[in-house]
Chains A and B, each alone.
Chain A
Amino acid sequence: MVFFIFVLFSSNVFGDMANTSTKKYINYLDISFNQGFRKLGDYYSGSGNIDSNFGFLYTYDEKNSFFLNLGIYYNGDPVDFKRDIDERILNNSITTEWRRKIDKNLLRFCVAYSDEKIKQGTSNSFDDNIYNNKRKGIGLNYDINYEKGVFGAGVIYRRIEFPNYTDLLTEFKNQNSLLDDSGVYNNDLYRFEIRWKHKRYFFLSDFVYQHYLNQRVVNYDASYGQKQKNISYNFKLGLERKLYIFDFYPSVSLSFYRSNQNFLRFNSITDINPVFLKDAYSYDEYSFALPFSYFLKDITINLEFRYTYRAYKNRNARNSNNEYISEKQKNKKEIFALTISKKMNEISEFLITYFHHHLTSNNKYDVYLPLNYTSDYIAVGYRINY
């Protein structure tokens, strides 16, 4: 039904029926995909990615327009994985936005829905992963245009639901009883953002507040306490300038993440003296990026170096035997990216992409999520934008 409505509106029939020059629809299509292989340590795997957007912009009059977008995104064996080296992430989204011009400024109101499915490896199903989630919500943005730049502010709200999530600790404690875990990880997310571009400088800042509806923090005695709350403050400052023959866009970012969630480390299923870590997830993160672009006729070369340093506030690192050491956990990530794109025709580019990742951490117990590894990824693909 949604697709039918989408197709109906994305066709241009109403443009004629309205029969005025001020009402018009513009369809657009944006697809990029690549296929390559990833080397992670001694482990090689095939890897593919799709980013695709299809939609239309309907201009009602000089001040009002309406925008509808259908997005399909797939990331298989990603270079920068979130939870598992073999994870595959599939995300579909529908976004609608009403835009109203107010003098030189722009007011935007959006309604968004997305469905993210995850699986580990090629054999499992996308349907039953505990981190599968659906997001729905609204957003409001206002952009003020002035002579030398633009200043914008916005707020979004999302209800994030995890229909398959199960609480392992509760299940472990209640092995012989049936549990209803539905909704335990559901949360409300609020994001407040400001964006400022002045001449060649740009600045972004946001504040994110995540309130869990049912999830509670774990206590030292494996009981549950107050409801979980996460907060993060993020800042990014950068500039755009010409440097010799390159376009150069350096930026620095700061991120401060705070969660009241604790951690109880069981060494084994029979461990009767688990280690309790209060405030185990809070961290400070600093990063900088040095991207360069070079244009040569129909070939574009993009080079980028990124460095990220994350320091946990209260989480001690573990050695390879899963024992805590006296130092706080610190992770470092270095990324080198090279993309060469060649314009093939009026609407498409052929891409060759190379990524090199190098991660190090003083936490050597990375059974669940590798923290010390080197990864290389090479792929070829196409990008169209019309």
Chain B
Amino acid sequence: MEGLVLVLFIFLFGSFNLSADLKSYAEQSVAKAITDPARFFSELKMDSEVVFPVNSGKRYTFNINFLPSLFPFTYLNSSFNYCLYKEGRLYTSFPQIDLIGGAAYMIGGDILANATDDVNKISVYGYHLGFVFSDSFESKIRIYYGFKHSYTLSRLKLSSSKKHTFLGVNITDFDSRFSDNILVFGVELLKELNKYWSINVSYGISRQTIVYGVGWYGKWFMMGFNFYPEGIIQIHPYWGMRLGF
């Protein structure tokens, strides 16, 4: 437990630029988000893109990310990992093949547009599609590797009647898309019955998305940390549901 507290402490400190005071840090972050809003919203969505391989003995997993995708980022999200081919069915060493996919829609945009006259419309949504191979080594360890295409669209239409600023940064309309073709590879360890531990790295070939993460998952839930070293929020602790059938 002490180790976890230490990890959290250092990671959270490490995720901020401490040279700036909080206001200027916030201003820089807002400016960065405005420069490439779709990338910013894509980073917020990416925790819901589950790449863990389907468990041995299961046909598919159904996943929902509660923290941080649903709360506080207000993404209604779900993803589905379907095992197309079980390892060793035809050839003893042919890897398991999973198809992965999911979608997310930011409902907070609609709430904000209805709650204020400044915003006419906000639309943020996206999807991901891909495949994951997984190879067993010994009885408890699997290496997995794959590919996913991630897409996010973000639109903001502001009321034209006045100038809009947020933390000193001018906000204007935007309509942008972010898509990246991402390589994924990682390792999964079965610690005990229905308790898994995993580390993975994702790298975007097209837009240089960089994510690395450590996760724990069991029969019902998954949790862990994703790190976005190029992101506005560099550390994303996450918690969600992951059901296998």
Contacts and interface: CB of A to CB of B under 8 A. Distances in A.
Interface of A: 3, 7, 10-13, 15-17, 25, 27-29, 31, 33, 35-37, 42-48, 50, 52, 54, 72, 74, 76, 88, 90, 92, 117, 122-123, 126, 345-348, 350, 378-380, 382, 384, 386
B94 interface: yes
Given A15-B93, A31-B201, A386-B143, 17 more contacts: A7-B133, A10-B145, A16-B91, A33-B201, A35-B14, A35-B229, A37-B16, A43-B19, A46-B15, A46-B234, A47-B229, A50-B212, A52-B201, A90-B210, A92-B203, A123-B32, A345-B189
A12 B94 contact: yes
Nearest to A378: B10
A386 B208 contact: no
Interface in B1-35: 3, 6-7, 10-11, 13-19, 28, 31-32, 35
B220 to A, nearest CB: 22
A344 B18 CA distance: 31
A31 B16 CA distance: 24
B13 A3 contact: no
Contacts of A50: 201, 210, 212, 229
Interface string B178-208: 0000010111010100000101110101001
A27 B135 contact: yes
B92 interface: yes
Q: Which 3 A-B pairs have the closest CB atoms?
A: A12-B93, A48-B229, A44-B18
Contacts of A48: 14, 227, 229, 234
B53 interface: no
A31 B17 contact: no
Nearest to A37: B14
A42 B133 CA distance: 47
B219 interface: no
Contact of B208 (A17, A44, A90, A122): A90
A31 B13 contact: no
A279 B232 CA distance: 44
A35 B234 contact: yes
A271 B37 CA distance: 43
A296 B9 CA distance: 26
B141 interface: yes
Contact of A29 (B7, B14, B32, B185): B185
Interface of B: 3, 6-7, 10-11, 13-19, 28, 31-32, 35, 91-95, 133, 135, 137, 140-141, 143, 145-147, 183, 185-187, 189, 191, 197, 199-201, 203, 205, 208, 210, 212, 214, 227, 229-230, 234-235
Contacts of A36: 10, 14
Contacts of B10: 35-37, 378-380
A11 B95 contact: yes
A3 B147 contact: yes
Given A43-B19, A45-B17, A13 B185 contact: no
B238 to A, nearest CB: 15
Contacts of A31: 185-187, 199-201, 212
B229 A74 contact: yes
B92 A16 contact: yes
A29 B143 contact: yes
20 contacts: A7-B145, A7-B147, A10-B145, A12-B95, A17-B91, A35-B229, A42-B19, A46-B16, A46-B234, A47-B229, A50-B212, A50-B229, A54-B185, A76-B229, A122-B32, A122-B230, A379-B14, A380-B6, A380-B10, A382-B199
A276 B201 CA distance: 48
A382 B229 contact: no
A16 B87 CA distance: 13
B185 A52 contact: yes
A64 to B, nearest CB: 20
Nearest to B234: A46
A45 B18 contact: yes
A385 to B, nearest CB: 10
Given A12-B93, A16-B93, A29-B143, A44 B203 contact: no
A72 B94 contact: no
A33 B199 CA distance: 10
Contacts of A350: 3
B208 A72 contact: no
Contacts of B200: 31
Contacts of B227: 33, 35, 48
A350 B10 CA distance: 14
Contacts of A37: 10, 13-14, 16, 18
Nearest to B202: A72
A92 B17 CA distance: 27
A126 B208 CA distance: 8
